[in-house]
Amino acid sequence: MMVQTRNTRVLQRLINMLVMVAIGLLMTGFSAAESPHEGLQPSVEKRFAKQTDEVPDFQRHVTPLLSRLGCNGRACHGSFQGQGGFRLSLFGYDFAKDHAALTEADSGRVDLDQPLESLILRKPTDEDIHEGGQRYETGSWQYNVLKSWVAAGAIAAEKPLRLEKLEVLPAEIILTEEDNPEQVELQVIAHWQGGVSEDVTPLCRFQVNNTAIAKVTAEGMVKPAEVPGDTHLVVFYDNAVAPIPVMRALASRPAGPKYDWQGNLVELKFAKSANSVKDASTQIDSLVFQKLNKLGIRQSAVADDVTFLRRVSLDISGTLPSPQEIRQFVADSDVQKRSHKIDQLLNSKAYNAWWTTFFCDLTGNNTQQLRNMGISQDKASLQWYQWIHDKIEKNVPYDEMVEGIVVATSRRPNEDYLAYCKRMSKTSRDQENDSFAKTKSMPYFWMRREFQEQDTRAISFAHAFLGIRIQCAQCHKHPFDQWSQDDFQQFSKFFTGVSIGRTQGGSKERAAQIKKIYQDLGIDTEKTRGGMLQRALVAALRDGKTIPFTELLVHAPKMDLKREDRVNRGKRGKFHETATLLGSETIDLTQYNDVREPLMEWMRQSDNPYFAQSIVNRVWAHYFGVGIVEPADDLNRANPPSNAPLLDYLAEGFVKNGYDLKWLHREITNSRTYQVDWVANETNANDRRNFSRAQPRRLPAEVVFDVARQAVLNREENRLYRNKIDGRSISIPGTNLNYGNRKGVPTSAFALQVFGRSERANSCDCDRSDETSLIQTVYLQNDRDIHSMLADRSGWVAEIAKLRNQSGLAESEQKQVVQLQKQLDRLNRMVKTKEQQGDSKQVEQLKQQRRKEAAKLQKLKKREQEYEQQTIPLENRKLITEAYLRTLGRYPTDLEKVECEKFLVGEQDFATGLRGILWALINTKEFVVNH
C-alpha cells in the first residue's frame, strides 16, 4: 500500500512537471529567437553581450537599466537630496531632468571626448570609489549598453515614446509543491508605438507581493517558497507596471488545529472533493470557485440560520436581530427566507442611517473642516449627512449621487448672491433639513477648509471616487503605478475651476450685496467682529432674518499660486487650455463652463477602470472584511485584485443595473460565498483573500456601542430598535462625537474613539480602525457607560425583575385566598338562612359584603391565572436563552445553560445575577465580532 502511494506521488509529480513544461513551451515559444511575435528584438543582454555598433535608446534602455541597477532608488541618487551631488528622478521617467543631470557640464558623469573615463562607467565598476559598490563588471552587457550610449553622443529624444503594452509570459504561474521546486522563467516584451516589440526582460525589475508563497530572482526566475497560497508577481519597466497571478496549490494535508475567538479548539471539517458547480448559487460563487479550485481549496459549508441572520443584520443595518426575530426566522420553512430578510433589511431605517455614515466617511464629512460657512459647523455637517441620507433612502443611483457632489454649486441657475443668502437662511432654519436634503447639489465636499489647494482636491477626489492613492505622484513617479508627476499635474488642473467665497459678479457686486445684508441686520462690521459677529449672525438667523453665506463658485480654471507669490510679485494665474484625465484623453477645458464636468463624464464611461470598481470593491470589503483589492482604497497596478474576473463582473453588473446600490447589496449577500460559515475545513484554515470562508471581524465603533445598548433594552424597545434611529451612534452626522449628547441623547464619544470611528481627517480608508486593543477590553468591562446601561431602570433586567416580583401569589396572598373562599362559603350560608327568615334588609347587607369579598378573591385568582399563562419567559433557563439571543444572536449550548444557571441561582439578588450574565456576554469576543 505504501509503495502504491509513493508511486502515485512520483507519477503525479511527473505529470505536473510535464504540464508546466508544456505551458512554458506554449507561452514562451521556447526562446526569444523562436517567439511567436514577429519582428521581436532580442534582449539587450544578447545584443550587447559583445561590442556592437547599435546605439541604445535613452528611454528604452539607459533609464530602465539605471532603475534595474538601483541608481534612481530612494537609497541612492533617487533620494530627495541625491548622492554625491548627483540626483536622478525617483524611479525614473523624468527623462529630461535625468538626461540633464547625467550630461551636466564638468560633472564627469558623461565624458563625450573620452567615453571610457565617464563616471557612469568607472564608478559602477568600482574603478573609482563608489559608495554603492560594484554594480556591474567591465565588459558586461550593462557596461556595453552605457558605453555605446556615451560613445554615440549620449543623446535623448526630445519627446518620450509611448509604451503601448508590457506583456509578461507566462500570463499566469501555477507552482507545484515545495518538494518539487521547479523554476519558471519569465519573458517580458515591450510593445512600443510604431509597432516595435522588444524583449526587455533584463531591463525589468521584479517584485513578489508575498514572498512566503513565491520568490523571484533579479533575472526573472520564479520558484515556490515556504507556504501554499496565491499572490502576484509585479514587473516594472518604463512607466508600465504589469502584474501576473502566482499560485501554489495547497498540499493534500490538514492545515493544523484551528481555534475560535474564545480560545476553544475547533474540530476541522474535512473536505472530500473540489467545489462543485452545482453548489454555486450565483455568478459570484462560480467565479470564486474557479479560483479556489486552482488552489486546491474547498469553501466551507453554508452557515446556519442564526449565524447568517446575525451577520447580515449587522452588516446591512448595523443592528442585532431581536430575540423574537431570531425565533421567527429559524422557524420559517420558506426556502427564500434569507433573500426576503435581505430585502427587509435593505428597507429598514437602520440601513439608511448606517450606509449614509459609510458614504459620509467616504466623502469626508468632517465637522471641524466646515468653518465660516454662515451656519454652525454642526448644522453644515448635519445638512451634508441628511443630503446623502435622502439619496440612500430613495436608492438614487450612485452615479447621480456622486454627480450631485462632483459638479455641485451653491447657487441655482440665474440666482444672485442675495437670493442665495435668503434661500440658505430659510433652509438653515429647517429643523428637519428636508429642504437642503432635496436639493440637487451638495457643495460642502468642495468647501472644506483643507480644500483650498488644487493638489489637495485632486488627492481627495481620487481617493473618494476612484479608490486610488495618487499622492505619491505629486512629487515623483508613483512607485507602484503608472502615474508620473506630469500625470498628477495634468489631473490636478480639473480642480482649478472652483473657489470659496467670491461671487461671479466680482468684488464690487459682492461688497454691495453684503453691505445691504448687514445694514438690514443693523450690524456694524467695523465694531462687531470675530466671535461677536458670529454670535450676532446666529441670533439673527434664529430670529428669521437673512445673513450672508459662504458659497462655492465655479469659474475659468487657473493655476494655484502660493499666496506669497500673488502678494509679493503680483502674479496673475495662467489659464489652462487643456488637462489630461488619468490614463485617458486630453480635454480642451475651454469647451466647458465647469471643468469638473469632463471628470463626471469620464467616470461614467463604461470602460472607466476606477469609478465603478472602487465602490464595488469598498462595499465588498465591508461585507467580507477584506477587499477584492486590499487595501480597498488602493487600486494600483502593483496591487491587483485577488480575483479580477469577480471584480470585473460586479463592476460591469453594477453599471448595467444603473449604479443601483441595492442591486449590489443583494448580489453580494445572496451569494453562497457571503453566507458560508467561518469554521474552517482542512484546506482553507489559512486562506484570507479568496473568500473560502467567513472571516471573523471586529464590529465598527458605532455598531459596538449601539448593540451594547440594544442588548439591554426592554423587550419592546429591542424589537423596534432597527427602525428607531434617533440617538443611534450610526446616525451621528459629522465628526463631533458629542453631537447626540447636546441633544440629550446618550452617545459616547469616548467609546467611539476607543473603537476607532473614522476621524475623516485623511484621504485614506485607514482613518477607520478595526484593530483590537486592551483599552477596548477595559471599556467593556469597567466603563460607566456599560454599567449604566445594565442598571437602566427601564431596561430588560429591570423589566424581568419587576415581572418576577409581581408574578403569581405570595404565601400570605395564598392564605388570603383560602380565607376569602371560606368567608364566601359562610356568607352564602348566612344569606340563605336570612332569606328563609324573610329578613330582606339583612339579606341585602350580606350580599353587598359577599360581592366585596368575591371581588378580592377574583383579583387574586386573575393574577394567578395570568402568571400561569405568562408569555414572557421567566424561568431561569428561558431567561438565559433570551440573554444569549440578545447579545450573541444564537441559542446557548447545554453546557452554557448549566453554567449560567449555576451562577444565577448562586446570586442572592436575581436582578444582580441576570445583569452579571448580560455583562459577561457583552464581554465575550464573540459579542464584538461579526462572524
Distance between CA 390 and CA 323 in Å, rounded? 30
Which of 384 and 429 is assigned the larger pLDDT?
384
Look at residue 566 in the predicted model and tell me its pLDDT: 40
Residue 138 has pLDDT above 60, yes or no: yes
pLDDT above 90 for 260: no
pLDDT of residue 360: 97
Domain ranges of the chain: 374-383+399-604, 816-868
Dihedral, 644, 649, 652, 655 alpha carbons, nearest 10: -120
pLDDT digits (tens, 9 = 90+) for 512-560: 888 888 888 888 888 888 778 888 888 898 899 999 888 898 887 654 4
Check if the beta carbon of residue 930 is closer than 8 Å to that of residue 314.
yes
Residue 497 has pLDDT above 90, yes or no: no
Residue 867's pLDDT band (cuts 50, 70, 90): low
pLDDT more than 70, % of the chain:
86
Length of the chain: 931
Percent of the chain surpassing pLDDT 90 = 53
Q: How far apart are the first and last CA of the chain?
A: 42
Rounded Cα gap, residues 727 and 717, in angstroms: 13
What pLDDT band is residue 740 in, cutting at 50, 70 and 90? Answer: low
From residue 386, alpha-carbon distances to 92, 432, 442, 728 in Å are 47, 9, 10, 15
User: Would strands 173-175 and 240-248 be described as parallel, antiparallel, or unpaired?
Assistant: parallel
Q: What is the pLDDT of residues 786-838, one digit of tens each?
A: 999 999 999 999 988 888 766 555 566 777 888 888 888 999 999 888 888 88
pLDDT above 70 for 563: no
Q: What is the pLDDT of residue 575?
A: 52
Average pLDDT over residues 109-126: 90
Phi, psi (degrees; rounded to nearest 5) at 676: -75, 160
Q: What sign does the CA torsion over 304, 309, 315, 319 have?
A: negative
DSSP string, 711-758: HHS-HHHHHHGGG--TT-GGG--SS-TTHHHHTT----HHHHHHTT--
Residue 278's pLDDT band, with cuts at 50, 70 and 90, is low
Rounded to 10°, the helix 661-669/337-346 angle is 150
Instruction: Write the burial class of residue 841 (CB in 10 Å: 0-12 exposed, 13-18 middle, 19+ buried).
Output: exposed
* Contact in structure between 749 and 382 (CB atoms under 8 Å): no
Cα–Cα dist 648/134, whole Å: 46
**pLDDT tens, position by position, 184-200:** 999 999 999 989 999 99
Of residues 665 and 96, the one with the higher pLDDT is: 665
- Check residue 808 and give its pLDDT: 56
**Structure confidence at residue 254 (pLDDT):** 41
The candidate with the shortest Cα–Cα distance to 681, out of 302, 298, 305, 308, is 298
| Lowest mean pLDDT, pick from 74-88, 398-412, 879-893 | 74-88
Q: Please say if the pLDDT value at position 282 is more than 70.
A: yes
CB neighbourhood size of 810 (10 A)? 9
The highest-confidence range among 70-79, 133-142, 152-161, 207-216, by mean pLDDT, is 207-216
Rounded average pLDDT over 398-402: 98
Q: How confident is the model at residue 14 (pLDDT cuts 50, 70, 90)?
A: very low
Q: Round to whole Å and give the CA distance between 856 and 874.
A: 26
**Predicted local distance difference test score (pLDDT) of residue 177:** 60
Higher pLDDT, 417 or 198: 198
- What pLDDT digit, counting tens, does each position of 893-929 carry? 999 999 999 999 898 888 999 999 999 999 999 999 9
Q: Identify the CA nearest to 163 among candidates 242, 219, 68, 65.
A: 242
523 CB neighbour count, 10 Å cutoff? 17
Kindly indicate the confidence band of residue 571, based on its pLDDT and cuts at 50, 70 and 90: very low
8 Å CB contact between 437 and 383: yes
Distance of CA 637 to the CA centre of its chain: 19
pLDDT at residue 266 is higher than 80: no
> Any idea which of 257-261, 340-344, 540-544, 823-827 has the lowest mean pLDDT?
257-261
**Chain centroid, CA 39 distance in Å:** 46
pLDDT on residue 648: 97
- What are the distances in angstroms from CA 191 to CA 206, 242, 715? 18, 13, 68
Chain mean position to CA 366 = 17
The DSSP output letter for 60 is I
| Cβ pair 410, 443 in contact under 8 A | yes
CB-based contact 864:818 (threshold 8 Å): no
Surface-to-core class of residue 63, CB atoms within 10 Å of its CB (0-12 exposed, 13-18 middle, 19+ buried) = buried
Check residue 560 and give its pLDDT: 45
Residue 325: predicted pLDDT: 96
Give the separation between CA 340 and CA 336, rounded to whole angstroms: 6
* pLDDT at site 507: 61
Q: Is the pLDDT of residue 591 over 90?
A: no
Is residue 430 within 8 Å of residue 396, measured between CB atoms?
Answer: no
Name the average pLDDT for the chain: 85
Cα separation of 840 and 97, whole Å?
Answer: 125
DSSP letter, residue 471:
G
Q: Looking at residue 221, what is its pLDDT?
A: 95
At residue 103, φ and ψ (nearest 5 deg) are: -100, 15
**pLDDT at residue number 417:** 87
The pLDDT of residue 226 is: 86
- State residue 536's pLDDT score: 87
8 Å CB contact between 739 and 747: yes
What distance in Å separates the CA atoms of residue 625 and residue 930, rounded to the nearest whole number? 10
